[in-house]
Structure 1
Amino acid sequence: MEEIIIRPFEETDAEWIVERHATLYAEAEGFDGSFGPLVAGLVADYIDHADPVRERAWIAEQDGRRIGSIFCCHGKARDTAKLRLFLIVPEARGQGLGHRLLDQCMSFAREAGYRRMELWTHESHRAACALYQKFGWRLTEARPVRSFGVDLIEQAWEIELQ
């Protein structure tokens, strides 16, 4: 098995990101068909509007196969970055890849001058939430919602970078 590499996102990765998010979330969480189009919109917006100085995205690969993704996008405030589309395929979990991707994203955000980061997720993503907590992220909001055809606890997390 080859070493895992993390490389910059390319437009040709878009279809994989949308398909993997839609399929894996349907299998693991029971998400309906509305989730894939949401992911497609986020990826298309990144492709069409990303500021290369302040926004970046990465793909993890092993043996020539994509196995993960993470995006650093601008948030609502000028000094805030938003972590998006963080995904590791099940067969690649448990190798420290989540740590590497999160570190890559947060390091870039610091270098780009962001003072803080935020993200939105669901309570059911326990491994990711544990990783955020390990990195010093703070849970700022949790509320029950009905999204993507299922009942979820939606969460907002943030971290000060400076």
Structure 2
Amino acid sequence: MSEDLAGQVAAVRAFNRFYTNVIGLVHGMYLDMPYSLTEARLLYEMARRDVTRVADLRRALDIDAGYLSRVLGRFEADGLVTRQRSAADARRQDVALTSAGLAAAAELDARSDSQVGELLAGVDRPRVLTAMREITDLLSADGADARPRARTVVLRPPAPGDLGWVLQRHGAVYAAEYGWNSEFEAYVARIIAEYLTDSDPRRTAGWVAELDGVPAGFVCCVPEDDSTARLRLLLVESWARGLGIGGRLVDEVLRFARQAGCERIVLSTVSVLASARRIYQRAGFTLVREQPEHSYGHDLMAEDWARSLS
């Protein structure tokens, strides 16, 4: 090993020691819960779907089959998961979280969000996130001279649990970026409740945007009146911005609203959300009304936007 490479290896190892200490991995258990990091990651993966193939878990985490079997056995003994042979293929074993398992995964998510939120408080977040994306891209490339891998964006309907994520991320993102208080989270909760209870599948739909398999954005379309649709809850995670995800979500809403026979579409926002306003403008929306209001702990300029679908 050359002297230069040895120094670079030492620098990477020093960073690894620093970061694992920052997020508490040297303590043995993760986030002060009775799970290792690998076990916490398994709970995370299983919480994202109703039923998971054990073989998919093994591939996703590149984990030893025997070790995975032992962990799942302990989870089963603790009442966190159920395991059974697939009805479609007896050679395949499927696993699903119980209500206790879902609660454990949700608690891990909440603690992780809180830990990372505290970590990012008071630092230059754009620089940190850009550096993380750069590291991810470079280490994911095929070979030292390869270009960063292409990012895969998929739009899909919300799965069970996704709307809880939508609520949590709206509350966390807007609090972190704009200082909005819990009134905004309550507002989003009401919209989600209406979406779930009053939805007409012919005129109501939502889409989760996944970036490389990770939820990164959301939007939904609901009826305003017999001929008008309303776009609601557009969100793109800060780490996924700049890739056109917001525009794709809005385009999907427009396509759906046209297919549903709507003649017009409207939305409401506030002037401080500059990035979202640019997306709406590019999609053909125009500002039709603005009015000052005090909401979410701040003086804001409320705006209504609209466009024809003909």
The TM-score bracket by the shorter chain reads over 0.9
1:19 aligned to which of 164, 168, 178: 168
Aligned equivalent of 1:116? 264
Structure 1: unaligned runs, 5 residues or longer? none
Aligned equivalent of 1:65? 214
C-alpha distance in 2 between matches for 1:120 and 1:3: 29
Matches within 5 A, 1:24-39: 24-39=173-188
Aligned equivalent of 2:197? 48
How far the C-alpha of 1:64 sits from its partner, in A, is: 2.7
Cα pair 1:11 1:47 within 8 Å, conserved: no
C-alpha distance in 1 between matches for 2:186 and 2:279: 27
Structure 2: unaligned runs, 5 residues or longer? 1-148
**SS of the residue aligned with 1:141?**
strand
Aligned equivalent of 1:102? 250
**SS of the residue aligned with 2:182?**
coil
**SS of the residue aligned with 2:180?**
coil
**SS of the residue aligned with 1:128?**
helix
Over alpha carbons, which structure has the higher Rg?
Answer: 2
Q: What's the C-alpha RMSD, in Å, of the aligned pairs?
A: 1.1
C-alpha distance in 2 between matches for 1:11 and 1:156: 31
Mean alpha-carbon deviation: is it higher for 118-127 or for 128-137?
A: 128-137
Aligned equivalent of 1:159? 307
Q: Letter of the aligned partner of 2:176 in structure 1?
A: E
Deviations 1:74-112 (A, max 9, x none): 11x210000000000001010011111111010000000
C-alpha distance in 2 between matches for 1:11 and 1:31: 27
**SS of the residue aligned with 1:39?**
helix
Q: TM-score by structure 1 length? A: 0.95
Aligned equivalent of 1:10? 159
In the alignment, does 2:260 pair up with 1:138? no
C-alpha distance in 1 between matches for 2:215 and 2:294: 31
**SS of the residue aligned with 1:156?**
strand
- Runs (4+) of structure 1 exceeding 4 A deviation are none
Deviations 1:15-52 (A, max 9, x none): 11001001111111111111112111111211111101
C-alpha distance in 1 between matches for 2:160 and 2:262: 25
C-alpha distance in 2 between matches for 1:60 and 1:18: 15
Q: Letter of the aligned partner of 1:35 in structure 2?
A: F
Q: TM-score by structure 2 length? A: 0.51
Larger fraction in strand: 1
How far the C-alpha of 1:11 sits from its partner, in A, is: 3.5
**SS of the residue aligned with 1:34?**
helix
**SS of the residue aligned with 1:52?**
coil
How far the C-alpha of 1:73 sits from its partner, in A, is: 0.3
